[in-house]
């Protein structure tokens, strides 16, 4: 059975992600108590279900600490993938303010205690840290609901075994993606933004591509990044990772980083097609279609 566990910080988009799995034909369960996960999987297995997505969060407090051991047991018989959704605190505060919802950990009903929103978020981060360390993390701080659904759909296309390498372009002015494992700063390269004809375009457009591919420094940067990844990728595979996110950033995340992600992704896609490597490559452009909106 393919088991997908969706977890993460409240307000980061777990409901959106779960709906994407549901749309893809998965059996989905939301807000499942940790203690019921193994019995649920046993029941679904007896019903010959092949694909399931389960959303679990920290609203029941310390019981979430049992989850890593439960997942370890499930991995002996099933394929298990953990997707951890995250967002920066400022974005989470804004989302809870817009929706006027309470954070699940903001009130302890048994003890009649209340905490501030930021305190509740910090508590939740601490409770979920052991899960985040073993999961594929997605930073939704600057993602629309549509973009998050698209990213989940891309993950569903990839094979469950092997290493998934994600190339992500971003703009430094909106912050470095928290899910990035490697970050390359390409702000030192000539910027198409200062050409009025190129400013409204992106690194996907032919005029911008023509501008950048004629600059020796851009070609050299592309080559150096490729060589670095090719040298160290076997070490990340040997480390037993399932996901590796390589983020390439320029100032606005519109021209240079988009161009380089496309070029580097094309290179590695071609290499994967020529070898038997169990590596799957995805590419994302965080800023092109994403602005900070609610994905609660």
**Domain annotation for the chain: domains and CATH numbers:** 2-157 (3.40.50.300), 163-285 (no CATH)
Q: How far apart are CA 208 and CA 193, in angstroms?
A: 10
pLDDT at 135: 87
pLDDT at 39: 92
pLDDT at 161: 57
Q: How far apart are CA 31 and CA 21, in angstroms?
A: 15
- Is residue 149 a contact partner of residue 20, using CB atoms and an 8 Å limit? yes
pLDDT at 272: 67
Residue that the structure tokens 């594929």 belong to: 136
pLDDT at 111: 45
pLDDT at 279: 83
pLDDT at 232: 92
Task: Please report, in tens digits, the pLDDT of each residue of the chain (296 residues total).
Answer: 899 999 999 999 999 999 999 988 899 999 888 989 999 999 998 998 889 999 998 876 778 888 888 999 999 999 999 999 999 999 999 988 888 888 888 765 444 456 788 988 998 898 888 888 778 899 999 888 888 998 888 888 755 557 889 999 999 999 999 889 999 999 999 999 999 999 999 999 999 999 999 999 999 999 999 999 999 998 888 887 778 999 999 999 999 999 999 999 999 988 765 555 678 888 999 999 664 433 33
pLDDT at 220: 97
- Is residue 106 a contact partner of residue 53, using CB atoms and an 8 Å limit? no
**61: exposed, middle or buried (C-beta count within 10 Å: 0-12, 13-18, 19+)?**
middle
Angle between helices 216-238 and 206-213 (to 10 degrees): 90
Q: Which residues contact 248 (CB under 8 A, 6 or more apart)?
A: 167, 168, 169, 170, 183, 184, 186, 225, 257, 260, 261, 264
pTM over 0.85: no
pLDDT at 191: 97
pLDDT at 293: 37
**Residues 150-197: tens digit of each pLDDT:** 888 888 875 555 788 999 999 999 999 988 999 999 999 999 999 999
Give strand ranges (E) for the chain. Answer: 2-8, 27-29, 51-55, 79-86, 107-108, 113-114, 136-139, 163-171, 182-185, 243-250, 279-285
- Is residue 202 a contact partner of residue 162, using CB atoms and an 8 Å limit? no
């Amino acid at each position: 059975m393919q088991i997908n566990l969706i977890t993460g910080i409240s307000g980061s988009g777990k409901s959106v992600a779960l709906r994407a799995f549901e749309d893809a034909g998965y059996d989905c369960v939301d807000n499942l108590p940790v203690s019921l996960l193994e019995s649920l999987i046993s029941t679904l297995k007896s019903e010959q279900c092949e694909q399931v997505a389960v959303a679990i969060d920290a609203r029941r407090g310390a019981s979430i600490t049992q989850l890593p051991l439960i997942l370890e047991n499930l991995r002996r018989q099933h394929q298990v993938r953990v997707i951890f959704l995250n967002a920066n605190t400022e974005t989470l505060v804004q989302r809870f303010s817009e929706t006027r919802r309470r954070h699940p950990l903001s009130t302890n009903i048994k003890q009649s205690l209340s905490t501030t929103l930021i305190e509740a978020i910090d508590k939740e981060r601490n409770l979920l840290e052991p899960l985040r360390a073993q999961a594929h993390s997605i930073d939704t701080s600057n993602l629309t609901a549509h973009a998050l659904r698209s990213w989940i759909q891309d993950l569903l296309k990839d094979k469950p075994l092997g290493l998934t390498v994600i190339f992500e372009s971003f703009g430094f002015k909106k912050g470095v993606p928290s899910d990035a494992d490697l970050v390359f700063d390409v702000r030192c390269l000539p910027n198409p933004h200062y050409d009025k004809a190129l400013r409204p375009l992106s690194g996907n457009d032919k005029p911008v591509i023509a501008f950048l591919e004629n600059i020796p420094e851009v070609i050299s940067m592309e080559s150096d990044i490729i060589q670095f990844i090719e040298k160290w990728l076997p070490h990340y595979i040997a480390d037993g990772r399932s996901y590796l996110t390589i983020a390439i950033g320029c100032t606005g995340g519109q021209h240079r980083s988009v161009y380089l992600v496309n070029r580097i992704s094309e290179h590695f896609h071609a290499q994967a097609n020529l070898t038997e490597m169990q590596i799957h490559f995805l590419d994302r452009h965080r800023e092109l279609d994403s602005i900070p909106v609610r994905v609660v």
